[in-house]
Structure 1
C-alpha cells in the first residue's frame, strides 16, 4: 500500500471495524537498547502504533489495552509511542538508539529491512504464540527472509475493490445489487452515471503522489499482467505489456471518448472521497475501509454505498504488521510478541472488541482483515456478523467474488516505481493524444533501473 494512501485511515477505522484493532503513532524520544530485564525483573518495551490525541476513541481503547496487558503481565511494561516506521527517518532512529523495540511496517517494508539486517530474527521465540499456525501463510511469508527465518508478524491486510454509490446506480437504471464484474461493465456503468448530468462523474482515478502508480499497478494486475517479474534471480520490468496497454486504453477511452471521468484530473484520495461524499461520483477503486471514512467526514449514510470486488483476474493486496529492533534483547522480543498477540492477533478477544467499539459508535461488519485460515476466520466472521451495525448486504459483491481473485502484492521498490507510473497515468488522463506505447517503453526503462538495485 502506498504510504501516501488514504487507505492508511483503515488502521483507525478499518481494522477497528473488523474487530481486530490496529491503530496509529510518532516517536517521542526515549531509546531502544539491547538491555533485558531491569533490577526488579520487569521488562520495559517501547512500541509504536498509539493513536494521536486527535483520535480520542482509538487512543482511549489503546490505553485501555495497555493497562489490561500490564495487569495480566506484571513483569512487562509498555512504553507506547505515536507514529509508524518512516523510511526517511528509520536509519537515523536506529543508529541513534531511538527506534522502538516493536515497530509498525507495511508489507512493502520487510524484505528490504531484512536484507539490511534492520529487523531482529524472532524465529526462536515463536513456538508459544497462540494461533500462529492459523495465520494465513502468505501473510507470514511477507516477514520471511531468504534464510527462511521469521522477522515479524502481520496484523492487517487489504484488497482493492470498487466503492460505488448505490443511489446513483439506481438513478442511472443500474442494479445496485449487481455491480460491474468486468472493466467493460465499469465503462458502460460510468457512461450511464455521467449521463445523469449536474456535475456527476461516472468513474474517478488517482494520479498524484504515487497514488496513480499504485492504482495503475492494480489495473495491470486485474488485466492479467505484472509490473515486475523475477528472471534468473533478478527483477526486471514487466510494464511494457498488453495488460498495461489495455489498462491505459480503457482509461483513455473513459476519459476522452466517453467523458465519464470528468475534466478535472490530477486527483488524489481526498479529492475522490470528497466527490463521493458529495454524491457526485459513481465509482472509484478502493478498499471497503473507505466507506466509513466517507460516511464520517461527509455526514452520509452507510446504506448509500456498496463495495464490489475488482473486475478482472487479480487485485492488488497489501497490509501491515510489526517487526523488532535488531538491537532488542531476547527478553524484549518475548515481551513484544506477547503484546502483539494480546493486542492484534487474538481471535478470542473478537467479541470483547466488537462490544467495546460498538458502544463507541464505530462501524462493525466491513469485509476487512481476513488474516486467519478458514476455521478460525469463520469464528471471527460469525462474531462480526453478530455485532454488525452496517448494511453487510451492500458488501456482499466484494465478499463473494474477492476470494476468487488472485491477491497480488506490490512490486519491489514499490514507491519509486509508483512515482514513475504516476507520470504515465497523468499523461493518459490529461493528454488526449498521449502515446501509450512510448509512455510504457520509457517507463519500463526507468523501472528496470529501479529494479537493478533489488537483491
Structure 2
C-alpha cells in the first residue's frame, strides 16, 4: 500500500468536500433562525420534524438578529447557504425583491393549507405574484382590558370597548379610580410598539400608513387625522400616564401586568407574562377597534420560513414548510404549547378550549395586517423615522395635526424614493 498516495487522496477528498456547498454532501438540513424571536416555538417545530424524519434531520443555528442580513448575503455569494431560514416577516419583501430567496410557488400550487394561513404572513411572503415563504410562528396584537379596574370604575367587567370613543369614555372612568391607575397605555418612544398597537387603530378605521413603494401615497384616508386627534385627546385629558413618554420598548411587555393600566394594545405573549406578574388580576382580550363599532384590526408579526437562493435541498425544505402547516402540527405542537396557530382554521382546537384567552387573541389571525414595504426600518421602525416622529408630535405638542401629517407624508415619500 502506498501510504503517501493514500494520504494525498484523503487530502484531496477533504479539500473537495470543503469546497462543496454543505447541503450537497450533508444529510442533515441546515436551518438558520434569528435570535430574539420565539425560540421555544422554533425549537419545538424542529424537534417534531426530526422525530418524524430521522433521515432528514434539521440542524438549527441561531444567528444574532442584527447579523442575519449581512450573513445571508455573504453565504449566497459564497454558495454556502443554509437549506432553510427563519426570517422576521417584515423583511420578507426586501429579501424577495433582491432575489435572495427561492421561488416555491409551484410546490404549493395545490396545497390548501396556505389558503388558511395567516394573511399577513402570506402577504409579505409573496412578491411579484410568486411565493417565497410560509408562516413559521405568529404574534398578533389585541386589546387587553383589566376587569378589576373596570369593576372599580363601575363598568361592566365583561364588556370591552367596541370603538375608540368607548375606549376614551371607559378610560375617563378608570383613570384615578385607584392610586396610579390610568385608563389607557401608549408607548411614547418606541416605534415598533406603536406600529404593533397604534397602527391597527388606523387600519381598522380605514386608513393606510406606509407606502409600498415610491409610487404609493402614505398616510391616506380620512381616518388618519381622526385617529390622531383621538390620541391627542387621550393625552391632553390625562388618560394616559405621562411617564409613558420615556417608554422605548424595554419595559413595554411589563406594563399591563402592573395592574395599573385599564386598557392596552399588546400581544398574545402578554397572557403568560401578565399572569406571572400579577396572578390575582382578572383580564380579558378583544380585537383592537376602530373609530366605529364593528371595525377591528391587528398587527400580524412573527417570522416566516424561507429557502435561501442557491439551496440544493429545496424539496426537503418545502416538506418542512408543509409539515408545520399540517393539521397535526398546528394542533399538537403550536396549540398544545398555547402558542398561536399560523392557520386561522385551526383556532378551534382542544387545547385552546382549556385556555379561553388564547382563543380570544387567536381571532386576530384572520384580520392581521403586516406592512408591505421594502423599507420598513427606515419608514416605520427607526427611532429617528417619520412614523415615530409623527406620533410624538401628536402626543406631546400642539402642532396642527394637518401639518404633522403633511410633514410625515413628505418624509415617507422621500425615503421610499431613495
TM more than 0.5: yes
Please state if 1:428 is matched with 2:389. no
Structure with the largest fraction of helix: 2
Q: Deviations over 1:197-245 (max 9, x none)?
A: 4111211112324225514432321222111457xx8533332653222
Answer yes or no: is the 8 Å Cα contact 1:203–1:261 preserved in 2: yes
2:52 to 69, 72, 79: 69
Please state if 1:43 is matched with 2:13. no
Shift of 1:439: 1.6
- CA distance, structure 1, for counterparts of residue 250 and residue 19 of structure 2: 36
Answer yes or no: is the 8 Å Cα contact 2:34–2:88 preserved in 1: no
1:414 to 366, 376, 380: 376
Task: Determine the structure 2 residue equivalent to 1:384.
Answer: 351
- CA distance, structure 2, for counterparts of residue 325 and residue 158 of structure 1: 23
- CA distance, structure 1, for counterparts of residue 241 and residue 19 of structure 2: 51
Shift of 1:107: 3.1
Answer yes or no: is the 8 Å Cα contact 1:121–1:150 preserved in 2: yes
Answer yes or no: is the 8 Å Cα contact 2:93–2:127 preserved in 1: yes
1:280 to 1:50, Cα distance in 2 relative to 1, 3 A: same
Answer yes or no: is the 8 Å Cα contact 1:251–1:428 preserved in 2: yes
Please state if 1:121 is matched with 2:96. no
1:202 to 183, 190, 204: 183
- CA distance, structure 1, for counterparts of residue 21 and residue 401 of structure 2: 53
1:224 to 206, 209, 214: 206
Please state if 1:95 is matched with 2:73. no
1:62 to 1:353, Cα distance in 2 relative to 1, 3 A: closer
- CA distance, structure 2, for counterparts of residue 102 and residue 63 of structure 1: 11
2:343 to 371, 386, 404: 371
Mapping 1:112-261, distance limit 5 Å: 112-126=94-108, 131-132=113-114, 135=117, 139-146=121-128, 148-211=129-192, 213-214=194-195, 215-228=197-210, 235-239=215-219, 242-256=222-236, 258-261=237-240
State the number of aligned residues: 386
1:34 to 1:89, Cα distance in 2 relative to 1, 3 A: closer
- CA distance, structure 1, for counterparts of residue 78 and residue 148 of structure 2: 54
1:322 to 286, 294, 305: 305
- CA distance, structure 1, for counterparts of residue 177 and residue 352 of structure 2: 36
- CA distance, structure 2, for counterparts of residue 289 and residue 109 of structure 1: 21
- Unpaired runs of 5+ residues, structure 1, are 1-30, 358-363
- Unpaired runs of 5+ residues, structure 2, are 1-17
Query: Any idea what SS the aligned residue of 2:325 has?
Result: coil
Larger radius of gyration: 2
1:209 to 1:70, Cα distance in 2 relative to 1, 3 A: same
Answer yes or no: is the 8 Å Cα contact 1:163–1:291 preserved in 2: no
1:315 to 1:89, Cα distance in 2 relative to 1, 3 A: farther
- CA distance, structure 2, for counterparts of residue 48 and residue 371 of structure 1: 23
Shift of 1:96: 5.0
Please state if 1:311 is matched with 2:286. no
C-alpha RMSD over aligned residues: 3.5
TM-score (norm 1): 0.73
